[in-house]
Structure 1
Amino acid sequence: MSLEGSRLTVITVSDRCSAGEAEDLSGPILADAFEALDAHVTRVLVPDGVVPVREALLEAVESSDAVVTTGGTGISPRDVTPEATAPLLETLLPGIPEAVRAADAGVPAAALSRGLAGLTAERVLIVNLPGSVGAARTGADVLGRLLPHALGQVRGDDHAPRGEGA
């Protein structure tokens, strides 16, 4: 499956990375995976916090078919990516974060991720992923299989994935 022609934004949410105190490792994993599927990818780095995350999301929605965040989905006081995302979603897609958590079932902390997924009023798909390298790899794998079909559906393509009957 391909994301050819799709515009994706990967937003890394991290106080330490945005301050230059740590290297962003999860954002490049996601960007590389989506680029390998022929998507045009834009990367953004923002600190934790409802305001910076929501502002980055709103800007990304204007020029993207999908936005994937990495970081800020846990339970620490600064993990507020779901709170920044929730007001922007009109159609919730709980199966996406469930699939990511299920794929990471061997990692006990995966159950603590509060990531959301859904469509905005502009029909842009937003997915929140945890910020660890392992979660980025798992998320890239799961989304690499889901996004081509999901974005096709958003565009109004035929309902059946390629190769499957009606």
Structure 2
Amino acid sequence: MKITLLTVGKIKEKYFTMAIDEYKKRLGRYCKLEIIEVADEKTPDNASEHEEDIIRAKEGERLTKYIKDGAYVISLAIQGKQYSSEEFADKIDKLGINGVSHIIFIIGGSIGIDKDILKKSNELLSFSKMTFPHQLMRVVLLEQIYRAYRINAGEPYHK
């Protein structure tokens, strides 16, 4: 299975980079992992909803270039479905059984994901009703993907 994290913005903090690198290494025995970063737009303080829509649309155009036909697209969005770790593992397992060979997870920038990207997604995924920094969500998502593969392999994991 190929897993792509398609993300808006760059990771600047070394501690996030180190955590991401660790999960990339761990996931290497389970899947082919690719992380693609597209440039983010500067969002002015007190931006109007219209200005934010324009920014999300620009970021969405950059993301769209990397969405491959035939891939199963899961966008992280607060209004998405929430899974337990076991349910998430089962979801990944069933996608593979049903012939999906490529899953793309999309993490938007600081103001979220463009509505057109959300419409093109096969599924919306939420980790909480809370808002998290998009850099931290990369680490959390990678950890949950790693945990899913461990669960599916019948290997021990922390409950």
| TM-score calculated relative to the size of structure 1 | 0.44
| Greater relative contact order (CA < 8 Å, ≥ 6 in sequence) | 2
Give the greater-gyration-radius structure (CA): 2
